[in-house]
Amino acid sequence: KGGDPALTPPPPPNYELFCAKTLENLSALATARVKIAEEGAIHIIHGLMRSASSHKNSASPEAEATMSSCAICLCNLSQLKSCRKQMVQMGVVKILTSLLKKGTNVQKYLCTLALANLTTQQDLRLLLAKDGAVRTLNSLCIAGDDKTVMQACVSLSNFVLDTRCLAVVLFEDTIDTLLKLLHLENRVTKTYALHGITNLSVEPKAAERIVQLRGPLLLCQLREHAYTFPTLSVALFNLSCYPFATAPLLERQVIETLFDMLQQRDDLATSETCLMTLLNLARVNANAREQLLDYGIIAALISVAETAFAGPYSGMCLSMSSILHYLSSDKRCGVRMLDESALPLLIQIAGVTLVDADGHDDKVQLLCAATFFNLSMYKPLTHPGFIEVLVSLSKSHDNDRVLYCSKTFYNLSGFPKGRSVLGNNRIVAPCLAAMMRSGCEDAEEIQARCAAALCNSLSIYLKKGDVMTMLNDGIVQDLIVIAVLRVNRLETKEVLARALFNLMAREDTREIQARQDFDVTFALIRLTRFSSMELSYISSRLLFNLSCEGPTYAEKLLNMDACSIIASQCTLSYSANETRALCVKALHNISEVEALRPALSRADISAALHSVLNNEDISVIEHGCALLHNVALNPDCLPALATQGVVGAFFDMYKKHPTVNTQQLGLSVLTNLSCCEQAFADLAAPEALSFVVEAIETPSLPLPSRFNGVKLLCNLICNFPKACEPMVNAGLVEAMESIQKQLQFEEEKFAVAKIICEVSVAGKHDLQLLTEGVMNVLLRLAKCEDVRIKICVSEALASLSRCRLSTDIVKEGCIEALYWLSLEDLLMHTKGVCERCAIVVRNLSTCTYTRKPTAKSDKIMTVIRKLFGVECYEVRENIAIALYNFSAFEECRRPLLRQGLVPLLMETSEVESRRLRPIASAALHQLDSAELPQIDGRMLKVLMSLLQMEGTAALDTDQPADAPTIEMVVEWELLGAVYTYECEPLSPLWGSMMANVSLDQPAAMVDASTMLGPESRKPRHRDLEEAMAKSRTYIGTYRKNRNTFEKLRPSNLVKAIPGFLPANDDGGADDHILDEIDEEDHRRTRTQSEHDAAVEGSAAGTPGMDGASFGAGGTKLPAIQPPAPSHLSVNVGGGPDSRSLESGPQGYRRQLLTGGKASVRTPKTGGSAPGTGGFSSPGGGGFLGSPGGWSGGGTPKTFGSTAQMPAVLGSNPIIDSVLNRSHTSMKDKGAAYAQRRRDIEDDYLALELSGTLGHRR
């Protein structure tokens, strides 16, 4: 610079190649690599490559060699982050891209390695992509050799992970390229292509392109390669996250591939990813779920269940339960699940997670509970162990889980088999009670579902042992407390009331329960405080059932005041007709127990009876009447009944149901009530009397019942005179006439006579009585021999005869009645009866309408004579007046004269009485002279006695007689009814009460994404070491070599796939050998300073570039010498006979490890020069292009000389150490020892070539 160009010496020949070689060698040293990078090696390389790629130099061998060395140097320097950006900024990428297009295969491979290193730096990828690197790599993947394609595929994987490069990747059709690479045989290429597709599938646009290219089916062709399963599962999962990929993923081939990957028992992560994919497909719709069932997803899940349950990885259980949950959301799918034995699988999943629950397991249990609920809507779940698992699931504080368990119990109770399973399992009732006590957010709904399940489970025929267990364990008391106090919702209380009712259904445990202080009966009665029609019905039904066994539970019913409670239920506005009917029937049953009747009288029976008037069940009316009948049989109850107004209640019922039974029962009730003065007013009502009279007149009624009506009337008329008028108006005469004909006993007839007597004595209805034919009754009664009857008849006739109106009293047999009354001697009652008969005769004689008929009667004179014969002044006086009245009228005298009127008058005048003779004299004076017989002194004396008669005596002869002077009282004792009501005993209604269960419910849909986390539906980046990428760790980030003098080879740049070990030609290394080699490799790793000290030479003071130096004593310091890549072939110097390292793999590999020799032809002499081309020498140093080693202690040869060089030192320290440690016991190092060493050498070489050594950790 600045000098005379003429004085500047010309550059030596091939100086560019020399510079390239120098930089290549320097880049192989760790100490020099950083230094030359800092001092501008990139600029020099850039210039060399531009010069070598110029048009005039590009075809020369030196230019090709220069480009190769530069490429190797760039590969080494690209390991440094500081160099990468500089390389990109200086445009080296374009040159590399040009080489990739035009260079040799080796150059293309080296350039691909350099690009791979550059792509590891995130901030350079976009620049590289803009410079056309993606397009070039795509072309290499299609047209390159295997090694280049493999490394290009790695580089593309790095571009794929960068979202900034996504547009370029999609534009350059990288997806097409990667899909094509899947079919190559190279395992590494296939793996990285699959990783690229997997990472591209994270982006929606790329995923859509993958689907368009039938990517799912192409991916499924990898199912034969098990090593691709971890990545393949992630790729399919990513695609399943998009709706547009659903249809392709539901192809049978794809699903079967997922099923195959599920069977990987040694890779739970892959199985879990496949399950997540199936879960995404199951989420889509019902058609997708049906397709999965068609492909046999249940069988696949069952087969993988053992793996999931055996290991600690509970994520599989979570995914499996999620899939089953989504499948169960449709009825058709749910039914198919049950048919395909999905229930045992679900029970197994839930059972496993219940053993040791953690956070994951809680989610599984929630999904299991929701799935159980869905399945329980389709069929009864009666598989063994199901109830136990469901009970265990319910023991939680999680609201949703407890809710789904309660719904499952609820649905199960809707099937007959389900009810049987629940009812016969003793753990169900305590479980349901515990859930109802839980304080969950949806406590009310949980309580409602559990109550229904409990009610239906108790509706079956319970075993005695089960009921006794519930009693002894306090479960019944617990349920009572829950129903009364814990539950707030009225509907739930109603269902629990049904459940408690069912507990009482068993006969042999009912009495035991009834003996408790606070039992089911008290609980149901207490529940009636709530205004509920259902609660009222249930409690009434229970009390009715207990009343059917009245004698057994009489004391309990009495203690709880059941009568008042039952009666009050009838009057509630919300009580249904059915409830009221049960209450009346229950009261009827209670009334059959004599000891309970007083309690009934204190209840409001009248209101209860009024409440059933509109009941459709007509029979309840009869039960109401029977109730009144029974209570009225107790005299002590009558005042209370009368006060309640039961008379009106009865007539209201009778109008609704006027049957013979109700009529007879009514007569009995009213008759008994007629013995109570508090009921007189009600009984005297026209309605009541009309009913009684009508009943008496009804011939179809039994005579005892009709006579009960007679007794009622008699009781009433004798004690309540106000009843006279309504009684007559009701048709009393006709009724008495009707029943009189049927009565046979005079004791019974006496009641009729007493009634007529009392009515007649009232004196206000004579005309009506006579008009209605009362004489017919009296005439028949007069013929009776009973003195009381005769007295009553005579009294009645005496009263009736006062009537001054026109009647047929005589025609209807009044005289004949008098005849019968006077016919017999009545002993002490004769005078009284005869006095009344005489009054009748007198009264008849005073009435214009009855005088003549009486006189014309054939038996009148017989009666008169009979009466006159009684030694009683009152009788004779009335007869004398009657004769006087008859004699005053000619039409009356004539018939009487023929019957001996005059002699009778004469006889009357002779009676020792001052008042009778004048009356007789007056009567004789009224006769005509012709009518008188011969007048003699005796008659004359009588006639003359008229002059001596007092004036007042003759003034009242034309008036009816006064009341009888002889008082006769015929007492009437109040008589009750005589009637026995017979009916069939009422049967208790112990039939089970069930809660309505609606199985038409929306299926439970638990969002599995909330269970599985946000990643459950988010596509994943596929990292080589992790199943799910947590951050964007790029594929193709290559480990820096730990050894300073280790060559950078293509295999070293590839990060090992977890679990992936490329097989060598001998079938691969044994695991224990690989572990030993790996361990020895790490043990021999040194720091930079230690390594520098180890490689210093002591003889000539010159460092050995082959990684070894020789001191003065000729001792060689060993250094680690990894072999060169087995497929690296470089032409140095442009000679046509360049040595290729791709000789036979097995033989040449052996040569590398045992110290074989190789030669390189140089352009000057064509000989072999040791150490002139590290990249082509199998004995080169750590980095590509490091100088070869020397043989012995000689000095290094100059560039271009020809010499033989050792390829590799005679022994490998790592192999020796491993062999010695592994075979210390082998004393005889013969053929077996040699064979063992060869095996270890092969394995070591395989590890080095694949880049696995040092990465297996």
Give yes or no for residue 433 having a pLDDT over 50. yes
- What is the predicted pLDDT for the residue at 1102? 31
Give yes or no for residue 1242 having a pLDDT over 80. no
Least confident among 739-748, 754-763, 776-785, 1109-1118: 1109-1118
- What is the predicted pLDDT for the residue at 1069? 37
Match 């049957």 to its residue by tokens: 659
The whole-number average pLDDT for the span 435-453 is 91
- What is the predicted pLDDT for the residue at 1037? 30
Give yes or no for residue 224 having a pLDDT over 90. no
- Angle between the 331-339 and 342-355 helix axes, to the nearest 10 degrees? 80
Residue 746 has φ and ψ, to the nearest 5°, of -65, -20
| 461: exposed, middle or buried (Cβ count in 10 Å: 0-12, 13-18, 19+) | exposed
Give yes or no for residue 1135 having a pLDDT over 50. no
The whole-number average pLDDT for the span 1015-1034 is 42
Q: Per the structure block, which two tokens stand in for 510? A: 């009912």
- Confidence class for position 1128, pLDDT limits 50, 70, 90: very low
- What is the predicted pLDDT for the residue at 5? 61
Selection from 550, 504, 511, 548 nearest residue 525 by Cα? 504
| Pairwise CA distance, residues 113 & 302, whole Å | 47
pLDDT in tens, 14-50: 788 888 888 888 887 777 878 888 888 888 888 888 8
* 3-state secondary structure (DSSP) of residue 1129: strand
- Confidence class for position 291, pLDDT limits 50, 70, 90: very high
pLDDT in tens, 325-354: 999 988 999 999 999 989 999 998 888 877
The whole-number average pLDDT for the span 1088-1113 is 34
The whole-number average pLDDT for the span 224-229 is 88
- What is the predicted pLDDT for the residue at 434? 92
pLDDT in tens, 870-898: 888 888 888 888 888 888 888 888 888 88
Give yes or no for residue 358 having a pLDDT over 60. no
pLDDT in tens, 623-644: 999 999 999 999 999 999 998 8
- What is the predicted pLDDT for the residue at 531? 85
- What is the predicted pLDDT for the residue at 984? 83
Give yes or no for residue 621 having a pLDDT over 70. yes
Q: Which of the 8 DSSP states describes residue 251?
A: S
Which three-class secondary structure string do you get for 745-795? CHHHHHHHHHHHHHHHHHCCCHHHHHHCCHHHHHHHHHCCCCHHHHHHHHH
- Distances from the Cα of 188 to the Cα of 31, 269, 1055, angstroms: 32, 21, 10
Give yes or no for residue 316 having a pLDDT over 90. no
- What is the predicted pLDDT for the residue at 1064? 38
The whole-number average pLDDT for the span 173-182 is 88
- What is the predicted pLDDT for the residue at 7? 65
- Side-chain-side CA neighbours of residue 39 (13 Å): 8
The mean predicted confidence, pLDDT, of the chain is 76
- What is the predicted pLDDT for the residue at 1072? 45
- Confidence class for position 996, pLDDT limits 50, 70, 90: confident
The whole-number average pLDDT for the span 591-619 is 88
| Pairwise CA distance, residues 1075 & 381, whole Å | 53
Most confident of 274-278, 1022-1026, 1046-1050: 274-278
pTM over 0.85: no
Helices H / strands E in the chain, number of each: 69, 2
Give yes or no for residue 988 having a pLDDT over 60. yes
- What is the predicted pLDDT for the residue at 804? 77
- What is the predicted pLDDT for the residue at 493? 92
In the chain, what percentage of residues exceed pLDDT 90? 17
- What is the predicted pLDDT for the residue at 1214? 57
- Confidence class for position 1212, pLDDT limits 50, 70, 90: low
Alpha helix stretches (DSSP H) within 356-463 = 359-376, 386-394, 399-412, 416-423, 428-437, 443-457
Selection from 1107, 1127, 1062, 1250 nearest residue 110 by Cα? 1127
| Pairwise CA distance, residues 46 & 42, whole Å | 6
| Pairwise CA distance, residues 983 & 271, whole Å | 76
Q: Per the structure block, which two tokens stand in for 474? A: 């306090």
Which has more pLDDT, 550 or 1087?
550
Give yes or no for residue 741 having a pLDDT over 90. no
Using only C-alpha atoms, the chain has a radius of gyration, in whole angstroms, of: 65
- What is the predicted pLDDT for the residue at 380? 92
Q: Per the structure block, which two tokens stand in for 323? A: 């899939």
- What is the predicted pLDDT for the residue at 1153? 41
- Asked whether 297 and 289 are in contact (CB, 8 A), the reply is no
Number of C-beta neighbours around residue 833 at 10 A: 29
- What is the predicted pLDDT for the residue at 1249? 47
Least confident among 858-867, 870-879, 1184-1193, 1195-1204: 1195-1204
Give yes or no for residue 952 having a pLDDT over 80. no
Give yes or no for residue 407 having a pLDDT over 70. yes
CA max distance for the chain: 227
The whole-number average pLDDT for the span 766-774 is 86
Give yes or no for residue 1183 having a pLDDT over 50. no
- What is the predicted pLDDT for the residue at 57? 62
Which has more pLDDT, 1159 or 473?
473
| Pairwise CA distance, residues 1145 & 1065, whole Å | 8
Which has more pLDDT, 1254 or 424?
424
Which three-class secondary structure string do you get for 1163-1199? CCCCCECCCCCCCCCCCCCCCCCCCCCCCCCCCCCCC
In the chain, what percentage of residues exceed pLDDT 70? 76
- Confidence class for position 1235, pLDDT limits 50, 70, 90: low
